[in-house]
Amino acid sequence: MNLNKFKFLIIVGCTLSLLFISFYSYYFVPKCQDISTFLKTDVDQLNIACLTGNIRNLHINDNYLLFDLTRGSSMIKCILFNYSSNDLELLKIAISKNQEISLVGKVDTYNNALEFIIYKFRVV
Amino acid sequence: MILLFEILIGILTGFCLGLIPNLHLNSLAYFFLISGLFLKLSNYPYFFISFALTHTLVSFIPLCLLGVPSSENILHLFPTHKLFLKGEAKFSILLCLVGSFYGVFISILFLPLLYLLFDLLSTYNFFIYICLIIVLIYFIFSEKDLISKFVVLSIIIFSGSLGVLTLSFNYFSFDPLLVCIYGLFALPYLILNIFKSNRVVIQKLDVLKIKSFKLDLPLIFLSVFSSLFIMLVPSFSTSQAALLVSKIKSKLKSIDYIPLFSAITISSIVFSLFLGIFFNKSRLGFVNILITNISSIRSVDIYLFLSVIIFSTCISILFILFIIDKIILFINKINYRLLNVFVIMISFIIIFITSRWIGLLFLGFSCLVGSLPLVFNKNRVILMAYIIVPTLIYYIF
């Protein structure tokens, strides 16, 4: 077995994967916050809107669930108060299977950031 | 950039902690969880993937130089120790790295098949416990005479009882797996070394043997495939995968087992992370901690998952190749007997911190059970009954 050839393969693998991680995380991982991308219906006078997208990064708290709704490279933080264990399970499955979900709620500012407070949701 | 930074932090942490003998991934995952490190990192799954892979690769160094295994690489101990006694520990480390490198790439190719088989078979409990019973029966009936059969049965009963007592009814310690795996597999061997090792084995730095060594790629394929099979049956470990390969491909030289075992070890980590992150099904303790105990679930992109695996593996191997000569020079300078005492002391301290006095008590019990195969000259794989028996009981009742 040629040790130099082995080292060369490692360096090639290292370089290619590093380039891929840099490129992919820069272009494909959602980062900007832009609600207009998600809107399926117009925001009415009460700011009620319907959004669809995929869930990322679910944070579980005693009183609320916080997660990122993504569509393409856009992302918005969503919050669901007074959730049930069934809601949590559905969201966990939607995360692991990368299922799209549809949300109905209200655009609001919470913790000084634009967020979407959910009234109800369903897995598409 | 943050993602890349967190991956590099994972690699660096895995590298430093992997060099400490007997520091198991489960304990470290608990530590990360308690310290709140997972919540501080915005991409903690990627941190943990790079950490787990680097830790596993680096843990080959204490395994080959000191003979301290973890639950993932127990079986490596025997062929690597033979090379250690010949002063060829560096050769065994290189073989581990070669096996791991190819093992990672082949395991990535097997991921779709794993998903299909897992989806198909994991719900059939009948399939799982039949496999477990077959392995236990095989342990007993692979012995030729009646006395040996009785000895093996006794070892199964003792280690199995210890497993039921600590894993099924875990009232006793914080991390029973760390304590008992160390007590069963490493401690008896280290104690024996203190009394046995009068001669100092100087480890060579040149590895001319590697040039004449021919890597058997089909064997690595077979190893990864058997590792995939053990993922389907809870409590099956790398030892069962190696047993499967050795039955399919007989007449293997002792040296061939090293890349084989390392390919099995690293692929089982890749498969566990894949099942845990994408399907919420854990097969290893630290993956279970990652997916069930964290209040913040970060989603993982499959393409990034695969590239982080390749990147962490490659960069860890490069680091190891860079540092290995320095570690061997250091090991050559110190007294091996004192080093064994030091390793035991470090392990005792870690166990005391994680499990207190009750952990040390169970360490004593498991050390006694772990001495049985050494005393009766039996294969130490039988001690895996420690995990198999509690799992069997769980599935039957």
- Check CB contact of A92 with chain B, cutoff 8 Å: yes
Coil, strand or helix at A53: strand
Is pLDDT of A112 > 70?
no
Which of these, B93, B99, B54, lies nearest to B308 by C-alpha position? B54
Q: How far apart are CA B237 and CA B71, in angstroms?
A: 8
**Running DSSP on this structure, what letter comes out for residue B59?**
T
pLDDT in the model for residue A2 = 79
Best mutation target among A96, A97, A100 (most B Cβ atoms within 10 Å) is A96
**Running DSSP on this structure, what letter comes out for residue A107?**
E
Other CB atoms within a 10 A radius of the CB of residue A97 amount to 12
pLDDT in the model for residue B74 = 54
B72: amino acid identity, one letter? E
Please give the structure tokens belonging to residue A119: 């009234």
Chain B residues with CB-CB distance to A6 below 8 A: 98, 101
CA angle B305, B311, B317 (to 5 degrees): 135
Chain A residues with CB-CB distance to B314 below 8 A: 10-11, 13-14, 17
Report yes or no: B320 and B101 within 8 Å, Cβ to Cβ.
no
- Check CB contact of A96 with chain B, cutoff 8 Å: yes
**Residues 33 to 72 of A: which have CB under 8 A from any B CB?**
55-61
A53: amino acid identity, one letter? G
- Check CB contact of B215 with chain A, cutoff 8 Å: yes
- Check CB contact of A13 with chain B, cutoff 8 Å: yes
Which of these, B255, B265, B159, lies nearest to B215 by C-alpha position? B255
Mean confidence (pLDDT) of chain A? 77
Sorted by sequence, the CB contacts under 8 Å of residue B284 that are 6+ apart come out as B25, B26, B72, B268, B269, B272, B276
- Check CB contact of A98 with chain B, cutoff 8 Å: yes
Considering only the beta carbons, identify the residue of A1, A18, A56 that sits closest to B299: A56
Considering only the beta carbons, identify the residue of B279, B313, B321 that sits closest to A7: B321
Is pLDDT of A123 > 60?
yes
Best mutation target among B57, B305, B314 (most A Cβ atoms within 10 Å) is B314
**Strand partners of residue A118:** A105
Q: How far apart are CA A18 and CA A49, in angstroms?
A: 40
Q: How far apart are CA B93 and CA B60, in angstroms?
A: 6
Considering only the beta carbons, identify the residue of B4, B7, B299 that sits closest to A57: B299
Other CB atoms within a 10 A radius of the CB of residue B369 amount to 24
pLDDT in tens, A36-95: 555 555 555 456 777 788 888 788 888 888 888 887 767 788 888 888 888 888 888 888
Per-residue pLDDT of chain B (397 residues; tens, 9 = 90+): 778 888 999 999 999 888 877 667 776 777 777 677 776 777 788 888 999 999 999 988 887 877 655 555 555 556 777 777 778 888 888 989 999 999 999 999 999 998 888 877 766 677 777 888 888 888 888 888 888 999 999 999 999 998 888 877 766 556 677 788 778 877 887 788 777 655 567 777 777 777 777 878 888 898 898 888 888 776 677 777 777 777 777 777 778 888 888 899 899 889 988 888 887 776 666 776 666 666 666 777 888 899 999 999 999 999 999 998 888 888 888 777 787 788 788 888 878 887 778 888 888 999 999 899 888 888 777 888 888 888 888 777 7
Q: How far apart are CA B171 and CA B26, in angstroms?
A: 18
Considering only the beta carbons, identify the residue of A13, A21, A58 that sits closest to B3: A21
Q: How far apart are CA B273 and CA B328, in angstroms?
A: 32
Other CB atoms within a 10 A radius of the CB of residue A30 amount to 19
Please give the structure tokens belonging to residue B345: 């002391």
Q: How far apart are CA B376 and CA B365, in angstroms?
A: 17
**Strand partners of residue A33:** A75
Report yes or no: B49 and B308 within 8 Å, Cβ to Cβ.
yes
Q: How far apart are CA B65 and CA B85, in angstroms?
A: 10
Chain A residues with CB-CB distance to B298 below 8 A: 56-57
Taking one residue from A and the other from B, the number of pairs with CB-CB distance under 8 angstroms is 87
A95–B297 C-beta distance less than 8 A:
yes
Sorted by sequence, the CB contacts under 8 Å of residue B30 that are 6+ apart come out as B174, B175, B289, B354
B301–A21 C-beta distance less than 8 A:
no
Q: How far apart are CA B103 and CA B97, in angstroms?
A: 9
- Check CB contact of A95 with chain B, cutoff 8 Å: yes
Sorted by sequence, the CB contacts under 8 Å of residue B247 that are 6+ apart come out as none
- Check CB contact of B317 with chain A, cutoff 8 Å: yes
Considering only the beta carbons, identify the residue of B297, B301, B318 that sits closest to A29: B301
Chain A residues with CB-CB distance to B301 below 8 A: 24, 28-29
Q: Which chain B residue has the Cα nearest residue A16?
A: B311
Sorted by sequence, the CB contacts under 8 Å of residue A23 that are 6+ apart come out as none
Stated as kind and residue range, the H or E segment containing B118 is helix B89-121
Query: Which of B145-172 are b and which e, b meaning 16 or more Cβ less than 10 Å from the residue's Cβ?
Result: eeeeeebbbebbebbbbbbbbbbeeeee
Q: Which chain A residue has the Cα nearest residue B278?
A: A96
Chain B residues with CB-CB distance to A75 below 8 A: none
Report yes or no: A93 and A55 within 8 Å, Cβ to Cβ.
no
Q: How far apart are CA B16 and CA B58, in angstroms?
A: 8
Phi, psi at A67, each rounded to 5° = -150, 165
Considering only the beta carbons, identify the residue of B299, B311, B321 that sits closest to A95: B299
